[in-house]
Amino acid sequence: MSKKLKIGLFGFGVVGQGLHDIIRGQDLNLEIIKIAIKNPEKKRSLDAHLFTTDHDEILNNEEINTIVELIDDAEAAYTITKRALISGKNVVSANKKMIANHLAELVELQEKYGASLLYEAAVCGSIPIIRNLEEYYNNELLHGISGIFNGSSNYILSKIFNENMEYGVALKQAQDLGFAETNPIMDVGGYDPKFKLAIATAHAYGLFINPDDILNVGIQNLNDDDIRYAKEKNFKIKLVPTARKISTKQVVTYVLPKFVKSDDFLFNVENEYNGVTVQAAFADKQFFFGKGAGGHPTGAAVLSDIAALRYDYRYEYKKFHQQNGLIHTDNVNIEVYLRYSNEDTLDQLKVENIVERFSRQDYKYVIGSISLKTLLENRSILEQEDVFIAHTGRYTYTEQQVQTVTEEEVFFN
């Protein structure tokens, strides 16, 4: 028999209300005791006595055994989560930035105090990717995980490629629909998918990576020339986070716009939908698809975690505890499309093996190979308005990189 959960809910915005809609009227053996909000003056449909602006009223309440954290403020979410875990309360969170930045510490707190932190809703909304990486792929050799992790940027790109909408118009529409913030850089700049990628990589490979060590390049510099080039090649551009094993013991991570071909699962993932591709040694390629945003889809993922807590479910982080010797590296070269205006950009980014080049007065591009390490070291160049970069999907290796891979395979086989 499941145990009864008595919940303290932090945040009653889109997701909080979506969660309440889902659980209302169902016999789920749980009860929301108190809801923390910011604005007590706002009119709400629930009993006013259910709400509080005092976090301590929830965190110090011994009757409450489960905290559900659904607020936007990552630092406040971290404080709430840490205090709850230390007091032995289980936590369900949807805050990807907080989790990505503090995951190693939060794992230690769970083990020390015997509490559980679940966060399926923090990565790709309604898609159950975390628990699948944790459980289904527990003993599988994963070659890579990639996909569309951000509904806002995907909505914008869908409008551009399917309806010939201008970037600015598509962005405004996404903002009007609530998919993008007034300052949309977290989404279109690739920060949101970077945090999600860091979390997914922890469960895919057992690596706790500082998000600052993951390259993220967004779509904010996309222009008509880039769109025309992609369409001429029958590609779509998608913002794709990737974690990939490039050798026996090395994993690379990055978030980049990518030219996607029509035979790629991601080609037909449109609007606010997300899609995750997992490439495994034995299960081969598998694809997860679903809504990545919205109160009810995300609320459903939160409820899935809450329901799991009734049976004392915990992430075991088996791949992390196995100490499998995997390391995070930037030791790989990727082939990219690079649009630029200043010739010095090619030298600064150390573009090699150029296989295609075009130049006119107002538009220049090359297709060539660039080291991921060089891109990380020159993020400021990639943020310049006259520069746009997209991954072609291909990897290239220097002789030194090939030698490293060969030595690893000899040593570990």
At 324 the pLDDT is 82
Instruction: Quote the longest CA-to-CA distance of the chain.
Output: 72
Confidence of residue 408 (pLDDT cuts 50, 70, 90): low
66 neighbors 58 (Cβ within 8 angstroms): no
pLDDT at residue 403 greater than cutoff 80? no
Fold of 5-118: Rossmann fold (3.40.50)
pLDDT beyond 50 at 133:
yes
Location of each CATH 3.40.50.720 domain in the chain: 5-118
Q: What string of DSSP letters covers 161-223?
A: HHH---HHHHHHHHHHTTSS-SSTHHHHTTHHHHHHHHHHHHHHHS----GGGSEE--STT--
What are the backbone dihedrals phi and psi of residue 389, each rounded to the nearest 5 degrees, phi first?
-130, 140
What are the distances in angstroms from CA 14 to CA 21, 295, 296? 11, 5, 8
What's residue 413's pLDDT? Answer: 39
> What is the arithmetic mean of pLDDT over 272-286?
93
> Quick check: 410 pLDDT over 60?
no
Q: What is the pLDDT of residue 53?
A: 96
Predicted pLDDT at 231: 97
Of the ranges 45-54, 121-130, 235-244, the best mean pLDDT one: 235-244
- Position 159 confidence tier, pLDDT thresholds 50, 70, 90: very high
Which one is predicted more confidently, 323 or 72?
72
Q: What is the DSSP letter of 22?
A: H
The answer to whether 126 touches 292, Cβ cutoff 8 Å, is: yes
Average pLDDT over residues 302-324: 93
The mean pLDDT value for 379-401 works out to 88
Residue 217 scores a pLDDT above 50: yes
* Superfamily of domain 130-295+325-412, CATH level 4: Dihydrodipicolinate Reductase; domain 2 (3.30.360.10)
The mean per-residue pLDDT over the stretch 151-158 comes to 96
Instruction: Measure the CA–CA gap between 215 and 359, rounded to whole angstroms.
Output: 27
Q: Which residue has the tokens 């290796």?
A: 397
pLDDT tens profile 231-243: 999 999 999 999 9
- Backbone dihedral angles phi then psi of residue 401, each to the nearest 5 degrees: -65, -40
> In angstroms, rounded to a whole number, what is the distance separating the alpha carbons of residues 156 and 147?
16
Q: What is the mean pLDDT of the chain?
A: 93
Decide the pairing of beta strands 66-69 and 90-93.
parallel
What average pLDDT score do residues 166-178 get? 91
Of 192, 195, 190, which is closest to residue 219 (Cα–Cα)?
A: 190
Q: For the chain, what percentages of helix, strand and coil (3-state, to nearest 5) are there?
A: 40, 25, 35
| Average confidence (pLDDT) over 278-282 | 92
Per-residue pLDDT tens for 328-366?
Answer: 999 999 999 999 999 999 999 999 999 999 999 999 999
Residues of the chain with CATH 3.30.360.10: 130-295+325-412
The set of catalytic residues is 196
